[in-house]
Amino acid sequence: MRYIVLLLFPLFSCDDTKLIDVERLNTFEGYHNHFMQQRLSKITITDHISGNYEEMNWEWESWLNATVFRTTNGSRDLYKQLLYNEYGYLMREKEYWDGSFCQQNLFDAWKVLSNVCVDNGDTLIQDYNWGVDRLTVIGPNGRKRYNDYGLVVGRYDEILSSWVNNDISENGRRYLTERDILDCNGKRIIIEKNKWTWENDVAVILGDPVLSDSCQVLGYLTKKETRFDRFYHVLEVGDYQRNDQNSEWVHQKQTTTNYDYSHPFKGIQ
């Protein structure tokens, strides 16, 4: 017996339908104020060096469960089984080919309390201790501080006994500079690890810095040309590399992501 459950899906006005059509065409008309995750539909990866083509398709069995099929150079296989929470953040990920899985316990939509990974009989358990502000956490990789949108505001360095902060846009949605700490010539220094340059819906992200003998950043060896939708979800990423800070960029890989904008997850803000 078949059932038609119309009430599970939101009803849209003409204006809403026009908005969905715009989203499907990936036409940028400014950023949305809502903090909301959209449902993944497809990811394609083209490797310009090897010539390989990979496509991953999300097939949703229910509102929160999806099976991912992966097609590599024309061969399609079951890849992963995924479980999301009501806000669209991944709670469980299981590999089809060997049964390994990771499961995490979340609160406040996206914040991780603990995770468990089982791989070939080995179990890894990690716990995260959140402060009273619900934005500062101590985890396996040290102490971090987030903003309300899940961006890393800073990391605490035990040797320097201070916070190393990133630069984030005034609205809290975009990285401008991500900083890191490393040892150079026997000194503990802070460097600009990733530099973000924004123009409307596109960000150019420079990474993998080259340091001089005096520990100054001379340039960067990787570049990502990234296009976002109006919800700050990644649509396209072009990955580029070069051998040194003076050589030409080589286009290594192109990744494209598609979403189903007609059935978003529950909004966080």
241-252 pLDDT tens trace: 999 999 999 999
Local confidence band at 9 (pLDDT 50, 70, 90 cut-offs): very low
pTM of the model: 0.87
Q: Is residue 269 part of a domain?
A: no
Q: Which of 22-31, 89-98, 172-181, 228-237 is the least confident region?
A: 22-31
The token pair that represents 42 in the structure block: 């497809």
The domain total for the chain is 1
**What percent of the chain stands above pLDDT 70?**
90
If one counts every other C-beta atom within 10 angstroms of the C-beta of residue 222, the result is: 16
Max Cα distance, the chain (Å):
74
Q: Is residue 55 part of a domain?
A: yes
Local confidence band at 29 (pLDDT 50, 70, 90 cut-offs): confident
Q: Is residue 27 part of a domain?
A: yes
First to last CA, the chain: 39
pLDDT over 80 (residue 64)? yes
Local confidence band at 93 (pLDDT 50, 70, 90 cut-offs): very high
The token pair that represents 110 in the structure block: 């996206």
Local confidence band at 26 (pLDDT 50, 70, 90 cut-offs): low
**Nearest alpha-carbon partner for 39 in 10, 18, 15:** 10
Q: pLDDT at position 8, please?
A: 32
**Nearest alpha-carbon partner for 103 in 130, 131, 84, 78:** 84
If one counts every other C-beta atom within 10 angstroms of the C-beta of residue 58, the result is: 18
Residues 6+ apart with CB under 8 A from 168: 147, 151, 153, 174, 175, 176
Q: pLDDT at position 269, please?
A: 75
User: Where does the chain show beta strands of DSSP type E?
Assistant: 39-47, 53-60, 65-72, 75-84, 90-95, 101-107, 111-119, 122-127, 129-130, 136-139, 142-146, 152-157, 162-165, 167-168, 175-184, 187-199, 202-211, 217-228, 234-241, 250-260
Q: Is residue 237 part of a domain?
A: yes
- Phi, psi dihedrals of residue 195, rounded to the nearest 5°: -110, 125
Residues 72, 53 contacting (CB under 8 angstroms): yes
Q: Higher confidence at residue 100 or residue 1? A: 100
Residues 53, 47 contacting (CB under 8 angstroms): yes
- Phi, psi dihedrals of residue 160, rounded to the nearest 5°: -80, -15
Please report, for residues 6, 16, 32, 144, 152, the alpha-carbon distance to residue 173 in angstroms, rounded to integers and kept in the order given.
34, 24, 11, 17, 11
pLDDT over 90 (residue 152)? yes
Full residue range of the structural domain in which residue 215 is found: 6-260
- Phi, psi dihedrals of residue 34, rounded to the nearest 5°: -75, 145
